[in-house]
A = this chain, B = another copy of it.
C-alpha cells in the first residue's frame, strides 16, 4: 500500500507521521526542533525519523513527503527568516529532502497545511470558502477562497495574528504592539491571566504560577478559578471581535478553530461566538459558522502536509 509522510515543523517540536489516502495516521514520531545542531542535521533528523517509521511498516511504500512549516517561501521551496526556528538564514528544505529521499517533496506554510487538512479530511470537507485559525504558541491563519488556498503575491497571506487587536497594546515578538496573537494564542492567554491578576482584586487558586500555561488556565476555569474564567471571557471578546472584521474582509461560510487552546471547548467558543455575532455587520448575520476542529489536537497540519502528497 502506498503511504505519504507528513511533516509539521513547529517552534517547539517537529512531528512526522505516515498518512494513508483516507487521512488516517498509521504511525507518528516527533523530536525537539531545537535538538538539531544546524539545518543539515535538522534535515537528516527528519529523514531518519521518516525512515524509522517506514521500517516499522515494511508493507507500506512511501511515495512522497509533505511539509508544513513557518516562514515558507513557496517560490523556491525554502524556509526564510523563521522567528521561532533555530536557523534564521534561508534553508532550502525541499531541495535537501529530495536529495536525501529521492522522492517528491511538497512544502506549504504551516497554517495552510492546517487549512488543507481541514479541507481534505476535516470539518471543511466540501466547503469552498472557509478560514482555519490555529491557536498555539502563535496564531496561524489559513484561508481558502473558492476552493483554493489564498497565498497572496509573495506567498505570505494570512498573517491575521499580526493585525492590530488593541491600539498601543501588548508588545509582540514581531516588534510591533497590540497584535492579535499577543492576546489570543496560548501565550497570549497566559499573559491575560497575569494581566487580570494585576487588574482584578481576586486571588488565583492555581497552584503553580511559575509554570503557568493555557491548559492549566483552562483546567482552572473548569474548577471555578475566577481569574481563569475571566481570562477566557476576555480572550473570546477580543477574538470574536476580530473574527467579525475577518468575515467582513473574506465572507467565509465557516471559521474553524484548531490548535492546543481549543481543548478549552465551550469555555473559549461561547464568548468568541457571542462577540463575533455582536460585532458582525448585519448582512453576514446567520451566514457564518464558528466551529471547533474535529481533528485530533494539532493533527490538521500533519494531515494537510500528508495530503499535499496525495494531491500531487
Contact = CB atoms under 8 A, between A and B. Distances in A.
A145 B155 CA distance: 11
Given A153-B129, A164-B241, A174 B252 contact: no
A29 interface: no
A279 interface: yes
Copies of this chain present in the complex amount to 2
B164 A245 contact: yes
A160 interface: yes
A51 to B, nearest CB: 34
Contact of A250 (B157, B164, B251, B287): B157
Contacts of A71: 283
Contacts of A143: 249
Contacts of A244: 164
A56 to B, nearest CB: 39
Nearest to A242: B164
A159 B281 contact: yes
Nearest to A164: B245
A249 B158 contact: yes
Interface string A136-165: 000000010110101111111111101110
